[in-house]
């Protein structure tokens, strides 16, 4: 495909106008101000459009689309115990497969090209990911409430099988990460063993860290250490780690995270909705930590509207620190793109540069809410609507375009998800 | 028009499915489960759609669309002094006319049927409002930095003329409110005189109150009273008042506001973006104060994406009070609709009931991000995208439908706004 006469946000997130972008195979082959001589196939007219890197969702539980709006305005404990856990206990692989496809459809509709996921029935999630053409860092969430050895845990066996079967499959679109649920749902022996296994195979680690004050403080009481200190001492952060939330991390934690190259997946909407707090993004950026953005699950968001997530990400810390200069639009867009790609171990994507993977989106910038333009980066971050995405391309292939889901039979998916929902609700009543 | 087979949120914001709604003139004439016998003209197929009351934007400065994204990531003082004030000093009536039309287009695109506005060149704003078919509580912002009498202020004369010429014009679509800018931009004599004049003519009052901590505390130092106590003592709240922001009001202020029937226009996005704080909505609702929602200006938001504003409105107080049960979806939708209408003195609108004004919107609820439906009210508040609005109707007349601005020549407006922007920027450089 050749994009012509299009505005772009270049690799430095600077606006360039009237550009030509040629896609060959899964890569960006050409970026220039002149019409290229090579024939790239379909010509995409770029007038009134903006081409930029796709978004990286650095923390999600995609199949939870099935629970959108199911438990609302409840305390965290009541939400989990009365709604989420009983519902999840009824899920089967087919439910997860179709709910994943629904979540992928929503993701690409809002410009997400790659997601870091933690859930279960991950083999069926892998099927959905491979079929639909998106990227995913997939992990089977591991918990342990007994004193078993790692080797005896089903979640370990599934993680290992998943890694052997799917890691780097689909042209590298799937990466299998090891996923430890959290400190409070495991124990030091398991953490140490899982850390060693993860290092041994060279996988990434994905873990919930200091999401709530309760979690953070109780860890300190139990172990005399913060979750980050605890995980670091057990070797977990020796693997390339994405730490989701990090709302309550302390200054020393941040120094450890920087030293260990941990990526923070900040989930601003979910952290508000569950009343967890506001992640101290400016302090992390100041220290040089790689900060990315996640939506968390649709059950606690309740959407995958990524542009909306970016707006929350920029605004919350201005108020928290009473300083409107904090978290600039460009910092937010970097977190949404390149920082996310780097956190997923995908150095070959997340920015618009020749030779990089063609994981791209096009925004329609012609509607009234994007006008006038004093500064297009400001408009994208503060004024755009999530639905302004009109094209999402992964590895050079369009997966969403102008209302059409090009790799997903969306009516079939909705039909099956509705059936899953009704079966589970009937069995719970 | 007859809406058929459509989902609605009824006057109690409860979902009803497969309904028929007949519009006659400017009113909702029929709501029922049966096809009405009367012929209402065009039949609107409602499958996959939701009909509900339109949104009421309870605090805005509509012409500031012209400054969208112009000053970003600056301190409040630098934003005002280096960007907004110099730009505004160059505005003329034609600039304001076209910028108002642009803002109205964006408003109806996002489902806003009526706006409480404070600005200047209000006669040209009135032209734009009358031509485009929307509703507006229009006010000429009054400031006074001298010891003149009210009668000698240009803003007073313009307010009076505006009231005489436009109040209740356009089938009552325009109401002219008296607009005092704020405590710190006026003095007690002017406040008292303006309060008396407002009472005398029976107009509404619109005023900024306790937006920033600085404003609130300095008022206490100057007068030994909070802004609300100060305004109350000077008689300002004896008229039906909309108090914008109210971020820093205290408990006693809230008691006064309840007693005086003051409507709060909470502006959550602007308050974050300018680092002002989070309005204590749950406490106000608990006391029984009428709390509505405003976008504030596009220069400090930077959009009129009202559904996004509702999401911020619900979520911020959950985190502020560390309680996810606070500000329910239904409370938020009430604030967005009926509370806004009542605050504007429009008792005949803001809810879906027979005999009420047909100020309505239709949302497309068929896209993936609104699926599945466990509870449609939850989905509207937490999952909908601003752009899901596909029809906006005011006084029974469609003003926006499926991407078309039915009462505004949008290409002409964009052309003129671009010219205004370029002329002003050139004169500033």
pLDDT digits (tens, 9 = 90+) for B350-383: 999 999 999 999 999 999 999 999 999 999 999 9
The domain A55-343: what is its CATH number?
Answer: 3.20.20.140
**Dist CA A88 CA A354 (whole Å):** 44
Average the pLDDT over A15-28 and give the result.
98
Instruction: Please state the domain extents for chain B.
Output: 2-53+357-405, 55-343
**Dist CA B425 CA B429 (whole Å):** 6
**Dist CA B159 CA B165 (whole Å):** 10
**Dist CA A333 CA B196 (whole Å):** 51
**Dist CA B380 CA B378 (whole Å):** 6
Q: Is B288 exposed, middle or buried (0-12, 13-18, 19+ CB in 10 A)?
A: exposed
- Residue A306 contacts residue A112 (beta carbons within 8 Å): yes
Tokens of B342: 């009542």
- Split at pLDDT 50, 70, 90, the class of B76 is confident
Tokens of B247: 């971020």
How close B402 gets to chain A, by Cα (Å)? 12
The predicted pLDDT at position B36 comes to: 97
Q: Are strands B43-45 and B49-53 parallel, antiparallel or unpaired?
A: unpaired
Which chain B residues are within 8 Å of A79, Cβ to Cβ?
324
The predicted pLDDT at position B429 comes to: 86
The predicted pLDDT at position A338 comes to: 98
Residue A16 has pLDDT above 90, yes or no: yes
The phi and psi torsions of B206 (rounded to 5 degrees) equal -135, 125
**Cβ contact A303–B369 (<8 Å):** yes
How close A306 gets to chain B, by Cα (Å)? 11
Q: How many residues does chain B have?
A: 429
Average the pLDDT over B381-402 and give the result.
98
Which residue of chain B has the CA closest to A316?
B272
- Residue B420 contacts residue B95 (beta carbons within 8 Å): yes
**Cβ contact B275–A75 (<8 Å):** no
- Split at pLDDT 50, 70, 90, the class of A75 is confident
Which chain B residues are within 8 Å of A328, Cβ to Cβ?
72-73
The single-letter DSSP state of residue B407 is T
**Dist CA B33 CA B358 (whole Å):** 18
Mean pLDDT, chain B, rounded, equals 97
Q: What is the CA radius of gyration of chain B?
A: 21
**Cβ contact A275–B321 (<8 Å):** yes
ipTM, 2 dp: 0.97
Mean pLDDT, chain A, rounded, equals 97
Got the DSSP string for B303-354? ---HHHHHHHHHHHHHHHTT-TTSS-HHHHHHHHTHHHHHHTT-TT-SS--T
- Residue A345 contacts residue A3 (beta carbons within 8 Å): no
**Cβ contact B69–A274 (<8 Å):** no
Q: Are strands A360-364 and A49-53 parallel, antiparallel or unpaired?
A: antiparallel
Please report the residues numbered 308 through 347 in chain B whose beta carbons come closer than 8 angstroms to any beta carbon of chain A.
308, 311-312, 315-316, 318-319, 321-326, 328-329
Using left for φ > 0, alpha for ψ between -120 and 50, and beta otherwise, residue A79 falls in alpha
- Split at pLDDT 50, 70, 90, the class of A103 is very high
- Split at pLDDT 50, 70, 90, the class of A132 is very high
Closest CB to A410: pick one of B308, B322, B368.
B368
Average the pLDDT over B20-27 and give the result.
98
The single-letter DSSP state of residue B225 is S
**Dist CA A98 CA B389 (whole Å):** 27
Average the pLDDT over B239-254 and give the result.
98
Question: With helix as H, strand as E and coil as C, how does chain A read?
Answer: CEEEEEEEECCCCCEEEEEEEEEECCEEEEEECCCCCCCCCCEEECCCEEEEECEEEEEECHHHHHHCCCCCCCCHHHHHHHHHHHHHCCCCHHHHHHHHHHHHHHHHHCCEEEEEEEECCHHHHHHHHHHHCCEEEEEEEECCCCCCCHHHCHHHHHHHHHHHHHCCCCCCCEEECEEECCHHHCCHHHHHHHHHHHHHHCCCEEEEECCCHHHHHHHHHHHCCCHHHHHHHCCHHHCCEEEEECCCCCHHHHHHHHHHCCEEEECHHHHHHCCCCCCCHHHHHHHCCEEEECCCCHHHCCCCCHHHHHHHHHHHHHHHCCCCCCCCHHHHHHHHCHHHHHHCCCCCCCCCCCCCECCEEEEECCCHHHCCCCCHHHHHHHHCCHHHEEEEEECCEEEEECCEECCCCHHHHHHHHHHHHHHHHHHHC
- Residue B213 contacts residue B277 (beta carbons within 8 Å): yes
Handedness of CA B336, B342, B345, B351 (dihedral sign): positive
The predicted pLDDT at position B75 comes to: 86
**B223: part of which helix (H) or strand (E)?**
helix B213-223
**Dist CA A400 CA A126 (whole Å):** 19
The predicted pLDDT at position A76 comes to: 82
**Dist CA B75 CA B77 (whole Å):** 6
The predicted pLDDT at position A159 comes to: 98
- Residue A37 contacts residue A21 (beta carbons within 8 Å): no
Q: Is A243 exposed, middle or buried (0-12, 13-18, 19+ CB in 10 A)?
A: buried
* pLDDT per position as a tens digit, B155-165: 999 999 999 99
The phi and psi torsions of A258 (rounded to 5 degrees) equal -65, -50
User: Of A58, A1, A25, nearest to A338 (Cα)?
Assistant: A58
Which residue of chain A has the CA closest to B382?
A302
End-to-end CA distance of chain A: 51
Q: Is B378 on the interface with A (CB under 8 A)?
A: yes
* pLDDT per position as a tens digit, A333-378: 999 999 999 999 999 999 999 999 999 999 999 999 999 999 999 9
Please report the residues numbered 154 through 173 in chain A whose beta carbons come closer than 8 angstroms to any beta carbon of chain B.
none
**Dist CA A126 CA A219 (whole Å):** 33
The single-letter DSSP state of residue B299 is G
- Residue A178 contacts residue A118 (beta carbons within 8 Å): no
* pLDDT per position as a tens digit, A262-296: 999 999 999 999 999 999 999 999 999 999 999 99
How close A204 gets to chain B, by Cα (Å)? 30
Give the whole-number percent of chain A exceeding pLDDT 70: 100
Got the DSSP string for B92-158? -HHHHHHHHHHHHHHHHHTTEEEEEEEES-HHHHHHHHHHHT-EEEEEEEE---SS--GGG-HHHHH
Give the whole-number percent of chain B exceeding pLDDT 70: 100
Residue A429 has pLDDT above 90, yes or no: no
**Cβ contact B275–A324 (<8 Å):** yes
- List, in order, residues 6 or more apart from A310 with CB less than 8 Å away: A293, A332, A333, A335, A336, A381
- Residue B340 contacts residue B55 (beta carbons within 8 Å): yes
Q: Is A429 on the interface with B (CB under 8 A)?
A: no
Give the whole-number percent of chain A exceeding pLDDT 90: 97
- Tell me which CATH homologous superfamily contains domain A2-53+357-405: Urease, subunit C, domain 1 (2.30.40.10)
- Split at pLDDT 50, 70, 90, the class of B386 is very high
Lowest-pLDDT choice from A77-86, A216-225, B397-406:
A77-86
**Dist CA A83 CA A105 (whole Å):** 25
**Dist CA B218 CA B212 (whole Å):** 10
Using left for φ > 0, alpha for ψ between -120 and 50, and beta otherwise, residue A321 falls in alpha
Which chain B residues are within 8 Å of A311, Cβ to Cβ?
269, 308
Helix axes A93-109, A410-428, angle to 10 degrees: 130
* pLDDT per position as a tens digit, A26-63: 999 999 999 999 999 999 999 999 999 999 999 999 99
Q: Is B368 on the interface with A (CB under 8 A)?
A: yes
Tell me the HSE value of B166 on the side-chain side, using a 13 A CA sphere: 26
Which residue has tokens 């012609």?
A366
Q: What CA–CA distances, in Å, run from A369 to A329, A388, B126, B333? A: 17, 10, 21, 22
Residue A425 has pLDDT above 90, yes or no: yes
The phi and psi torsions of A30 (rounded to 5 degrees) equal -145, 135
Give the whole-number percent of chain B exceeding pLDDT 90: 97
The predicted pLDDT at position B77 comes to: 84
Q: How many CB atoms lie within 10 A of CB B300?
A: 25
**B413: part of which helix (H) or strand (E)?**
helix B410-428
The predicted pLDDT at position A77 comes to: 84
Average the pLDDT over A181-205 and give the result.
98
How close B237 gets to chain A, by Cα (Å)? 29
**Cβ contact A372–B68 (<8 Å):** yes
Tokens of A362: 């096009």
Q: Are strands B174-176 and B178-180 parallel, antiparallel or unpaired?
A: unpaired
Tokens of B321: 């009070």
């Amino acid at each position: 495909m050749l994009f012509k006469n299009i505005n772009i946000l270049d690799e430095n997130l600077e606006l360039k106008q009237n550009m030509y972008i040629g896609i060959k195979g899964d890569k960006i082959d050409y970026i220039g101000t002149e019409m290229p001589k090579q024939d790239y196939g379909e010509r995409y007219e770029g007038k009134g459009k903006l081409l930029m890197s796709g978004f990286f969702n650095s923390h999600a539980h995609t199949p939870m689309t099935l629970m959108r709006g199911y438990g609302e305005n409840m305390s965290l404990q009541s939400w989990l115990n009365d709604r989420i856990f009983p519902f999840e206990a009824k899920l089967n692989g087919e439910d997860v497969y179709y709910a994943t496809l629904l979540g992928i459809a929503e993701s690409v509709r809002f410009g997400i090209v790659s997601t870091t996921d933690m859930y279960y029935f991950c083999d069926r999630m892998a099927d959905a990911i491979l079929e639909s053409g998106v990227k995913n860092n997939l992990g089977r969430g591991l918990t342990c409430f007994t004193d078993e050895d790692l080797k005896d845990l089903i979640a370990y066996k599934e993680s290992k099988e998943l890694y052997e079967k799917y890691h780097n499959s689909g042209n590298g679109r799937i990466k299998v990460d090891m996923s430890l649920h959290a400190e409070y749902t495991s124990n030091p022996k398991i953490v140490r063993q899982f850390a060693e296994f993860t290092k041994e195979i060279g996988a990434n680690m994905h873990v919930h860290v200091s999401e709530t004050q309760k979690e953070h403080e109780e860890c300190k009481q139990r172990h005399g250490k913060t979750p980050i200190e605890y995980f670091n001492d057990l070797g977990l952060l020796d693997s390339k780690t994405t730490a989701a939330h990090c709302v309550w991390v302390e200054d020393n934690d941040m120094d450890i995270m920087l030293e260990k190259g941990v990526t923070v997946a900040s989930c601003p909407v979910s952290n508000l909705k569950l009343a967890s707090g506001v992640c101290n993004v400016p302090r992390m950026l100041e220290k040089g930590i790689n900060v990315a953005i996640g939506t968390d699950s649709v059950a606690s968001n309740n959407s995958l509207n990524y542009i909306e997530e970016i707006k929350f990400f920029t605004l919350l810390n201005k108020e928290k620190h009473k300083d409107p200069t904090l978290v600039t639009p460009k910092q937010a867009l970097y977190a949404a793109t390149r920082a996310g790609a780097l956190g997923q171990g995908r150095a070959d994507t997340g920015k618009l540069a020749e030779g990089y993977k063609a994981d791209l989106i096009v925004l329609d910038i012609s509607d009234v809410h994007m006008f006038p333009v004093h500064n297009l980066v400001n408009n994208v971050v503060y004024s755009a609507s999530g639905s302004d995405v009109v094209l999402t391309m992964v590895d050079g292939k369009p997966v969403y375009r102008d209302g059409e889901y090009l790799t997903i039979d969306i009516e079939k998916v909705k039909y099956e998800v509705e059936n899953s929902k009704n079966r589970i609700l009937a069995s719970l009543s």
